[in-house]
Amino acid sequence: MHIPFAASERSTIGIEWELALVDQDSGDLRQVAQTVLDAVAPAYGEEHPHIKQELLLNTVEVVTGVCHTVREATDDLGRNIERLRQVTDPLRVELMCAGTHPFARWTQQKVTDKERYATLIDRTQWWGRQMLIYGVHVHVGIEDRDKVLPISRAMLTHYGHFLALSASSPFWGGQDTGYASNRALMFQQLPTAGLPFQFDHWHELEQYVDDMMHTGVIDVFDEIRWDIRPSPKFGTLEMRICDGIPSMSELASIAALTHCLVEHHSRELDAGRELPSIPSWFVQENKWRAARYGMDAILILDREAREELVTDDLERLLVELEPVAEDLDCAEELQGIREIMRAGGASYQRQRAVAAQNGGELDAVVAALVEEMRAGHPVLDRT
């Protein structure tokens, strides 16, 4: 099988943001995605180009066009969220994002009436029906197909950093799971989801896809749902690690970290230097540590098994990436990573703090997440 990789301008960026539709009064999920999509679509014909359907009727996805800076991408998202609110506000529906809804029940959620979703649920059964989860995907353009797999392997060395920063799913079905990101471990239960294989050569990826199609595991490439994957139709590397991110400022910061790291590794390849990689068993352990402990995770950094607290390694990484951030015009957004570390913490930490302040009532957590989406940044003072 030959898999062509589309021409893409180097280090362009695109973002996909999955948003929950919640009731203004109860905080529970509302099954009104089709109503919302029908309302925003007419000017574009069949569907809005940047407001998309998702698996469940409680979800819509907002996607950017091809952008050159993080600021351009977040401005794009902001315009489409304003369009969404013109429809959702009269319905008394709020927009919310986190890796999971704190108390909604998966048994009460309706699946979008599309054949591909019905096929997914039919195959995956109990696990598929439980996919009441939300994520963020960041695409970065790569101009040379030969760079894609080396950069993908290098990005796996930062897996735990991204998951810890974005972890926002401590609650599931009204219970505290004890994890910072319950979503990360749930999603990997689907076929072809989870950590990618660390292929060295493009023909190995082609052989894998050919085998998966031949045996009926997938019908199209996009059914490979790895946490990091090439996106041949766009000519990008797609980072799918992150939990749903509650606010625009945090989204901008984590997108900037993604943007800078991909460009940094691309420059290293241009200079003829070997990119970092770590064994798959270390990546798997880092995923679990970040999902369990979040910002308190001690990550395995390299093949020699050196370990460091994720926040300490992030401080080192931010300094290393400063010149790249200046070149990509996202230095301000990248510095927001320090705000996540030093202020109220990652979303899972803020959610637990709100729950504790409200006697464990999780409707207060939903209200806080809704407030942060409206504000565009974490809300730390709720006295």
Tens-place pLDDT, residues 101-117: 999 998 888 888 787 77
**Amino acid letter at 103?**
F
Which tops the pLDDT comparison, 354 or 119?
Answer: 354
Tokens for 269, please give them.
Answer: 């390849």
pLDDT score for 261: 98
Tokens for 295, please give them.
Answer: 């910002």
pLDDT score for 113: 76
Query: Three-state SS for 296?
Result: helix
Tens-place pLDDT, residues 261-309: 999 999 999 999 999 999 999 999 999 999 999 999 999 999 999 999 9
pLDDT score for 382: 65
Domains and CATH numbers, the chain: 12-375 (3.30.590.20)
What average pLDDT does the structure give for the chain?
95
Query: Mean pLDDT lowest for which of 49-63, 167-181, 200-214, 223-237?
Result: 49-63
pLDDT score for 111: 84
| pLDDT tier for residue 129 given thresholds of 50, 70 and 90 | confident
Mean pLDDT computed over 208-236: 97
Pairing of strands 171-172, 175-176: antiparallel
| Backbone dihedral angles phi then psi of residue 56, each to the nearest 5 degrees | -105, 150
> Any residues with CB less than 8 A from the CB of 115 and at least 6 apart, and which?
none
Tens-place pLDDT, residues 45-63: 778 999 999 888 999 999 9
Decide: residue 113, CB within 10 A, 0-12 exposed, 13-18 middle, 19+ buried: exposed
Tens-place pLDDT, residues 169-182: 999 999 999 999 99
Which tops the pLDDT comparison, 313 or 119?
Answer: 313
End-to-end CA distance of the chain: 60
Tens-place pLDDT, residues 149-167: 999 999 999 999 999 999 9
Element (H, E) at 93: strand 93-96
Whole-angstrom distance, CA of residue 382 vs CA of residue 288: 32
| pLDDT tier for residue 383 given thresholds of 50, 70 and 90 | low
Residue 183 has pLDDT above 90, yes or no: yes
pLDDT score for 352: 98
Tens-place pLDDT, residues 363-382: 999 999 999 999 999 998 76
Residues in the chain: 383
Q: Report H helices in the chain.
A: 33-40, 70-88, 115-129, 145-156, 159-166, 182-187, 202-214, 248-270, 280-293, 310-327, 331-342, 347-357, 362-375
DSSP conformational letter for 67: B
